[in-house]
Structure 1
Amino acid sequence: MRSSVSRTPPPPSRAASPSSAAAPHGLAAHEVVLMMDTDPVHGLDDDEARRRLARFGPNVLPASARDNTLMRMLRQFHHPLIYILLASGVITAVLGEFVDSAVIFGVVLINAVVGFVQESRAEAALDALRSMVRTEARAVRGGHVRPLPSEELVPGDLVLVEAGDKAPADLRLVRSSELRVDESALTGESAPVAKDEVVLSAATPVADRRNMVYSGTLVTAGTGAGVAVATGARTELGEIHRLVGSAELLATPLTEKLARFSKVLTVAILALAAVTFVIGLIRGEGVVPMFTAAVALAVGAIPEGLPAAVTITLAIGVARMARRRAVIRRLPAVETLGGTTVICSDKTGTLTENQMTVRTLWTPEGDRYDVSGSGYAPEGEIREPGGAVVTSPTSGALRWCLLAGAACNDATLARQDGRWTLTGDPTEGAMLVAAAKAGLDRDALTDAYPRVAAIPFSSERQYMATLHRARGGDHVVLLKGAVERALDLCDTWMDADGGVRPLDGDAVLRAADELAAGGLRVLATAVRFDAEPARRGEPEELDERGLRGTMVLTGLQAMLDPPRAAAARAVRACHAAGIEVKMITGDHAATATAVARGIGLLGDHSDHEVLTGAQLAGLPEEEYPGAVERARVFARVSPEQKLRLVDALQSRGQVVAMTGDGVNDAPALRQANIGVAMGRNGTEVAKEAADMVLTDDDFATIEAAVEEGRGVFDNLTKFIVWTLPTNMAEGLVILVAILFGAALPILPTQILWINMTTAVALGLMLAFEPKEEGIMGRPPRDPARPLLTGSLVARVLLVSTLLVGGSWWLFQWELANGADEAVARTAAVNLFVMVELFYLFSCRSLTRSMWHVGLFSNHWIIGGVTVQMAGQLALTYLPVMNRLFHTAPIGLPVWSRIIGISALASLVVAVDKRVRRRLM
């Protein structure tokens, strides 16, 4: 009940700066009160609160300095390839080709807009993080409880919290009653944490500070009062905000490789153009004709279609991933997935269901019952040691073990939108489901055993007990709690027939230890049948002092957050693909180890591969990266350590994908080469910081996305290998003409026609190419490997040579046989296009023949070829096109020579492929 106190407090003096409160969890509550110069009952008065607000500022996370919109947009044009495209657009405009110029400028603008949107994602992450602390708080000011906007809280404020509240600041508890807080978004702890005022060691990590309630966490049960020791940027949430803001936005492998490729291409184009111009002048040619030739060479060498091809190929990858429940927020992330060498996965909700599930039931006679199914859906079976299914136990230890778990319980389960959802503690939800699997319905139990009194769970007593009225007026006491505490209250145990026998506490502890060794959380259940109060007419009360030595132990329930059904298969698939999988969690080492072994991440004897946050903190700097690379499980780690783990792996040359769902994951998500957030249970902060969001929160979806990413990179590589020979050959054929003092075989406008039409109608069809067989059987690409390997560069040079030789010979042949320059150039233009067309089918696989992948397995290519051929016929035979592009009609003999040279080039490429495949 919320109330106010009328006594006026003494005026507080000047508070210590929160920065001086280095470890409030390591101080007694009264010491924190003195340090913050406040009152543990009356709080601050209004005047002092105003002074502190002016001194420390509002309780909000600071906004980062941002460039204005114009500067952010202009920054998108700062790239060598964009410079080349802009120059190409200007040149084509000067040449009067305004349509082509408009297309090029359109491509540049589209890429700039995409980059502008991508850059906004980090700012959105910080905005989402700031919104987490914008809530209403209840503070004691001048002895009165009053609601305040959380922005107005100051260090030293006495803040009250209760179930359902979101903590508005970092609070050192001074009072608490049955207080439990969900810290999963901050620490990764899967279960709500019990809180009290106990003094802790100053070295206690954040996840174990039970006397602190941190900003942004959610109170799930009980009440408490705490002194605000940190607000705004000084809170733990504020530290994460700082880490998110400082984490470096890394270039993806694709963008890095394209940047290097663009710089090399820029230098090569300028050098060739300059050589062409100088050679022409040396040969006595005029300045204007040589400038035109240099422009033609530059235009020919520019791959105008590359940015569009990259964007469209990535966009197609985005669509394919969306169908596999992975939503891409940043286009280059599609390709990055394909190059991933390490996946750092959160445990709770990613590798596991994030739903506690009872796995084993143990009764005092030593029988162990296996429980199937997972999560909160009441689907599964309970099987006896002999394998028989338990349908509906009517008596004995098993029945009362299940009944105690379900009736001594405050959780509720409901089916919403096709999913079972839990309200309350996850362990209580697991016990409800276990009872339902044995046919013990919660509503029926409530009707048969209505509750009349209860002793709630607390961290001190470590158990919960309830009093129920049974049929006939008798009473039943049900209890569940920690094994050691239950044994303190029991002196007998129940057998399978309901009989009572003397308790063997050592046997119970041995069974509990065996279950806990498997990473299971073990709770004990007990019962007491009491007819005396009903017969004597005594009040229906439950006295904690009267429980000791009166309870009958009915069994143990062992539970865990189970691994996802597809997680083990996905981990195996990643290992087969040469991708290392590491678990990074804020949960306990024993729990993390059990889950890791369950999904095949660890063997049975691999404790050396498990490191805790404390062990990481003690590693020497020079040993840190190596230890991180060797270990597979990291438990009880802080947000700063997650960020450092990702950075250490990247320092070893790894391409890191990091998954997470909580606020504590956001800095590492942003630092990773690709951040993967959970869409179903993830926080908005994590989603905004990530490059990809999983709509089903399933680790197996990451493996599917990696497969799609590899396919995307394959298709981009195929496009580049397909388009470069044409660009090189167009430039070289101009250079050859200048060297020999001959007429240009192709003109700048014709080069633009070739480049723009073939890129759209032919090259982009490679973006729709299906994934090749065995794509997940390859090792990850070496991040240091260039975009094109030596063999692919050799193939580009081979095709370029064939194009230069074929087009030069055909151009000279037509001139020698009486054709005018327009006809000869038309033949050369069509030869370029036809060689590209034949070569396109070869590029559908960079290692196998086109017959192996199937001639008609990509219907888009057939459509593209049809469109391209229609365009070539129009270019060759329509008078308006003849005037615009200086072409002329050609006869069948010319077409036969074009087809023959194209087929010969295709045959040479096929032989090259076969020879290189045999040498591999």
Structure 2
Amino acid sequence: MRLSPLSVDEALASLRTGRDGLAPAEAARRLAEFGPNRVEELARESLLAGFARQFSHFFAIVLWVGAALAFLAERYGPGQGMSTLGVAIVGVILVNGVFSFWQEYKAERAVAALRRLLPQTVQVMRGGALEQIVAVDLVPGDVVVLAEGDLVPADCRVIEALGVRVNLATLNGESLPKARTAEPSQEDSPVLARDLLLAGTSLAAGEATAVVYATGMQTEFGHIARLTQAAGEAPSPLRREIARLSWLVAFLAMGLGVAFFLIGQAMRLPLIESCLLAIGIIVANVPEGLLPTVTLSLAMATQRMARRNALVRHLPAVEALGSASVICCDKTGTLTENRMAVKRLLLGRALLEPAALADRPELAARHRQLLLNAALCHNVKANRAGGAAAGDPMEVALAAMGRRAAGWERAVRLDEIPFDTARKRMSVLCDTPEGRVLYCKGALETVLPACEAVEGDAGVTPLDDAERARLLRAEDELAGSGLRVLAFAHAVIGAGGPPTDDRGLTLSGLVGLEDPPRPEVPGAIARCARAGIRVLMVTGDHPRTALAIAREIGLVTDASPRVVTGDELRRLSPAQLQLALDGRQLVFARVSAEQKMTLVEALKKKGEIVAVTGDGVNDAPALKTADIGIAMGLSGTDVAREAADVILLDDNFASIVAAVEEGRSVYENIRKFLTYILTSNIPELVPYLSFVLFGIPLPLTIIQILAVDLGTDMVPALALGAEKPDPAVMTRPPRARKERLLTWGLVARAYLFLGVMEAVAAMAAFLSVLARAGWHRGEALASSDPLYLQATTACLAAIVVMQVVNVFLCRHPRASSLAFGLTGNPLMLAGVAVEVTLILAIVYTRPGAWLFGTAPLGPEVWLQAALFALSMWALDELRKVWARRAGGGRGPERPANGSARARSPGSTP
């Protein structure tokens, strides 16, 4: 229902109500008909569905299949440890799923603690009596009474208004409060209509009586919430890459399994043995430790990001934020402090900073009338408890400045002419130590015609046409800087003289105010530029204000950047919009919720990974559509927070940049431990290949493979996932949307270089133990033979020793491992200690021998493995030297611990 431009009486009649409100019985009937005044929550996943999701994604399915195959192999070939492997894989799935669910559940609990969106109670007229009711019980036709600071509970038509100004930031991003009156408005947009109060906004000043015409999902607030629910949720880049990796692992394992089955058949092995061999190969090639390592790495990153004031609701969003190539950022409250501050003063002919009044007492004394005006002409209410004053943010800032004038506290306000949209000024009559004085402030175009004199450096002089023209030019210059300009005037009222603000005033000066940028933002914008991240301001505020702030924070440096308004955006076709987004420096102003979502979709079509920040209801659809939605935790609305992936606990844009740094580090760290984990797949695979092709005893059992994948490799891999961000990570451009987590370079290094060396060391250890005992090829060894147990133990030990060195090699794909100090990552030292302790326990304790089928080793085996490990280290260091030179002779970087390191292109480990 649209009540503009109806008169008050027509609006009441159309809703079949009156100024005394509805009768209680009629209100109850309407509540049953229209339903509660509640915005439906975004469709949220149930706890059970969220829990089940942790066990049904594709990688989990791959592990489920691996476990099933292990149990199948145990049934037809018992005694090979396959049942233990199956139980271990199921355990990995369960532990990982429970941990992931718990991480997301904790984040959701934190979000729930932030919920405080619509008012809980409201003053309403029912049957001529003022009652306080729960806001959800409001119905169309109710007459509500609102005061300064109240949240508007539903869409309402104003009946009476006294100095009402409403804060619309949650709906359209507008930083300055707007006046509202009972006079019919001709505006088409409900947000701009001067006679309407919309749900989710708040009264910055004044008092109002209004009739409710829309509740719940029928409000503008509800319309945006519905738009948010309709918006599709974009999967994170990491989710897409893990899904792709899962398919690759599945196809690789199945392919090798089928190949070995065919090899077995070609060698005339019994069918059951060929099947068991294939199953063993498939299970051996599924990296059981990858899923928990990824989850734990992301969880640790969320803790680091939380310490930097970014709450992550979904674990994959950690990495997704690091891949962002464009940040579409709201202005009010994110780039700015969401408070008004005096920026410039025009006193006489001098344009001054407000600090000049404090530094020069004689200047403050000369312009005392302007300061008294600022201190007295307002409706700000002081907080007796010592907190912030309540009222229009602009008036709060002016009152704080004005209280520098001596004697303001002794003035008594006698009368007031409130601000309204027609007069565009406010006046108060005060009894001051100098007598009765009328103080007036407002827009220069309405104050100037009432002035006959102007206060300057030489005192009060008549106001002529030249002076009027100069003042109008000065106002235009201040407004061009994005400032809200107010004129201040006063008049001394003689005894018995009638107070009036339409003639005989003396202009005291002009004051320019702004919502100041956060001090950390310019540095954060500069970091984004160095990191190749494009920042686009997308705001509902005035174009001139948006451009001024963009210049001040360094977002815009061109002499004539393009400012695209919502009206222009509406006229652009999808193709024109995508071409327009190629512009180097753009600012979007007066943009609606649908248009913000359209912008996000256009950027995604261009191949960008888009992060969107926002706090208002208007931001929620774009937050949900974006690759990464970032909502404000302090000033944000509940709808915005529900739609977001990340919540800024301090509402600060600089925290986004810190979180991006963490996210980029996560992606690099995942590649590091992928290299580490995949390397051990080759020495686990080659023993099976040797067993089939060369007819030797199986050098490594299934249960020993499990000891590596879920035992010795886990903590070192986790340590790689906890590496500190590389200082150079924010000097490289974001990776392309099509860039893969698992690259051919990574696979080649893990499988064809490091893995081959580990396989050689493992097979050498196995065969050397057999050779020293006098074993000959073709001689059968029982699975319980002490020699066989010792030989397989040597193979296992060699793999673990090689992995101890490999974890240091995997810290960087190009920088020398010597460039990193041992104290840079304490978890890595702990991981190596755990790895060594585990292999010693497996080799030298009875429980270890019983569970993993091992036997004690002599020192010569360890020495041989150490020599192979040293050789691997030397060869990879030579490869890194070649890689640095092939990369163009780049000089060393500084790693996280402060040592020199080679620059990484951020693409292929």
Please point out which of 526, 529, 553 is paired with 2:507.
Answer: 553
Match of 1:485 in 2: 446
Match of 1:624 in 2: 577
Cα 1:64–1:505 shift into 2, 3 Å? closer
2:650 partner amino acid: D
Q: Distance in 2 between matches of 1:663 and 1:748?
A: 55
Is residue 279 of structure 2 the alignment partner of residue 310 of structure 1? no
Please point out which of 196, 207, 211 is paired with 1:212.
Answer: 196
2:870 partner amino acid: A
1:334 partner amino acid: V
Q: CA deviation at 1:90?
A: 5.2
8 Å Cα contact 1:297-1:730 kept in structure 2: no
The alignment partner of 1:492 has SS state of strand
Please point out which of 190, 193, 204 is paired with 2:175.
Answer: 190
Q: CA deviation at 1:777?
A: 0.6
Match of 1:606 in 2: 560
Please point out which of 205, 210, 235 is paired with 2:219.
Answer: 235
Query: Could you report, residue by residue, the CA deviation over 1:418-463 in whole angstroms, capped at 9, with x for unpaired residues?
Result: xx73411111122123335xx436xx4112x232222222222221
Q: CA deviation at 1:54?
A: 4.1
Please point out which of 20, 25, 30 is paired with 2:4.
Answer: 25
Query: Could you report, residue by residue, the CA deviation over 1:54-109 in whole angstroms, capped at 9, with x for unpaired residues?
Result: 44333322356666654443333222221232344456675657776665434322
1:108 partner amino acid: I
8 Å Cα contact 1:298-1:731 kept in structure 2: no
Match of 1:62 in 2: 40
Match of 1:843 in 2: 810
For residues 142-153 of structure 1, the aligned pairs below 5 Å read 146-153=131-138
2:360 partner amino acid: V
Q: CA deviation at 1:275?
A: 2.4
With 701-710 and 41-50 compared, the bigger mean Cα shift is at 41-50
1:704 partner amino acid: A
Is residue 854 of structure 2 the alignment partner of residue 887 of structure 1? yes
Is residue 796 of structure 2 the alignment partner of residue 811 of structure 1? no
8 Å Cα contact 2:672-2:720 kept in structure 1: yes
The alignment partner of 1:303 has SS state of coil
Cα 1:155–1:690 shift into 2, 3 Å? same
Cα 1:104–1:164 shift into 2, 3 Å? same
For residues 256-335 of structure 1, the aligned pairs below 5 Å read 256-335=240-319
For residues 670-689 of structure 1, the aligned pairs below 5 Å read 670-689=624-643
8 Å Cα contact 1:404-1:478 kept in structure 2: yes
2:412 partner amino acid: P
TM (norm. structure 2) is 0.88
Match of 2:784 in 1: none
Q: Distance in 1 between matches of 2:444 and 2:216?
A: 41
Cα 1:879–1:54 shift into 2, 3 Å? closer
For residues 169-568 of structure 1, the aligned pairs below 5 Å read 169-201=154-186, 204-364=188-348, 366-371=349-354, 381-382=355-356, 389-391=359-361, 393=363, 395-396=365-366, 398-412=367-381, 421-435=388-402, 439-440=404-405, 444-447=407-410, 449-471=411-433, 474-496=435-457, 498-503=459-464, 504-530=467-493, 532-533=494-495, 538=496, 543=499, 546-568=500-522
8 Å Cα contact 2:438-2:501 kept in structure 1: no
8 Å Cα contact 1:795-1:909 kept in structure 2: no
Q: Distance in 1 between matches of 2:648 and 2:639?
A: 14
2:439 partner amino acid: L
The alignment partner of 2:812 has SS state of coil
Q: Distance in 2 between matches of 1:179 and 1:136?
A: 20
Q: CA deviation at 1:640?
A: 2.1
Match of 2:64 in 1: 86
Cα 1:352–1:33 shift into 2, 3 Å? same
Q: Mind listing any 5+ residue stretches in structure 1 that lack a counterpart?
A: 1-20, 372-380
8 Å Cα contact 1:182-1:193 kept in structure 2: yes
Q: Distance in 1 between matches of 2:41 and 2:640?
A: 18
Cα 1:341–1:206 shift into 2, 3 Å? farther
2:139 partner amino acid: V
Cα 1:168–1:909 shift into 2, 3 Å? same
1:756 partner amino acid: L
1:507 partner amino acid: R
Is residue 703 of structure 2 the alignment partner of residue 749 of structure 1? yes
2:760 partner amino acid: G
Q: Distance in 1 between matches of 2:42 and 2:503?
A: 61
8 Å Cα contact 1:579-1:779 kept in structure 2: yes
1:830 partner amino acid: A
Q: CA deviation at 1:649?
A: 1.5
Q: Distance in 1 between matches of 2:364 and 2:612?
A: 49
The alignment partner of 2:512 has SS state of strand
Q: Distance in 1 between matches of 2:54 and 2:850?
A: 38
Query: Could you report, residue by residue, the CA deviation over 1:464-489 in whole angstroms, capped at 9, with x for unpaired residues?
Result: 222222337x2122221111111122
Query: Could you report, residue by residue, the CA deviation over 1:835-875 in whole angstroms, capped at 9, with x for unpaired residues?
Result: 21111111111221111233443232222222222222222
Query: Could you report, residue by residue, the CA deviation over 1:743-767 in whole angstroms, capped at 9, with x for unpaired residues?
Result: 2110001111111122223211112
8 Å Cα contact 1:297-1:735 kept in structure 2: no
The alignment partner of 2:629 has SS state of strand
TM (norm. structure 1) is 0.87
Is residue 146 of structure 2 the alignment partner of residue 167 of structure 1? no
8 Å Cα contact 1:135-1:166 kept in structure 2: no
Is residue 742 of structure 2 the alignment partner of residue 763 of structure 1? no
The alignment partner of 2:713 has SS state of helix
Q: Distance in 2 between matches of 1:572 and 1:723?
A: 37
Counting aligned pairs with the same residue, the percent is: 37
The alignment partner of 2:452 has SS state of strand
Is residue 792 of structure 2 the alignment partner of residue 831 of structure 1? no
Cα 1:26–1:796 shift into 2, 3 Å? farther
Is residue 55 of structure 2 the alignment partner of residue 77 of structure 1? yes
The alignment partner of 1:411 has SS state of coil
8 Å Cα contact 1:280-1:739 kept in structure 2: no
Query: Could you report, residue by residue, the CA deviation over 1:249-279 in whole angstroms, capped at 9, with x for unpaired residues?
Result: 2221111101110111012112222322332
Cα 1:334–1:75 shift into 2, 3 Å? closer
Q: CA deviation at 1:33?
A: 4.8
2:642 partner amino acid: E
Match of 1:3 in 2: none
Q: Distance in 1 between matches of 2:141 and 2:594?
A: 27
The alignment partner of 2:842 has SS state of helix
Cα 1:194–1:845 shift into 2, 3 Å? same
Match of 1:12 in 2: none
Match of 1:18 in 2: none
2:51 partner amino acid: M
Query: Could you report, residue by residue, the CA deviation over 1:693-736 in whole angstroms, capped at 9, with x for unpaired residues?
Result: 22322211111111111112111110011111212441343134
For residues 6-21 of structure 1, the aligned pairs below 5 Å read 21=1
Q: Distance in 2 between matches of 1:114 and 1:245?
A: 28
Q: Distance in 1 between matches of 2:364 and 2:551?
A: 37
Q: CA deviation at 1:27?
A: 4.9
8 Å Cα contact 1:845-1:853 kept in structure 2: no
1:835 partner amino acid: M
Cα 1:122–1:628 shift into 2, 3 Å? farther
8 Å Cα contact 2:344-2:512 kept in structure 1: yes
Aligned length: 864
8 Å Cα contact 1:299-1:751 kept in structure 2: no
Cα 1:391–1:296 shift into 2, 3 Å? farther
With 353-362 and 128-137 compared, the bigger mean Cα shift is at 128-137
With 867-876 and 829-838 compared, the bigger mean Cα shift is at 867-876
1:455 partner amino acid: I
Q: CA deviation at 1:282?
A: 3.2
8 Å Cα contact 1:848-1:913 kept in structure 2: yes
Q: CA deviation at 1:496?
A: 2.6
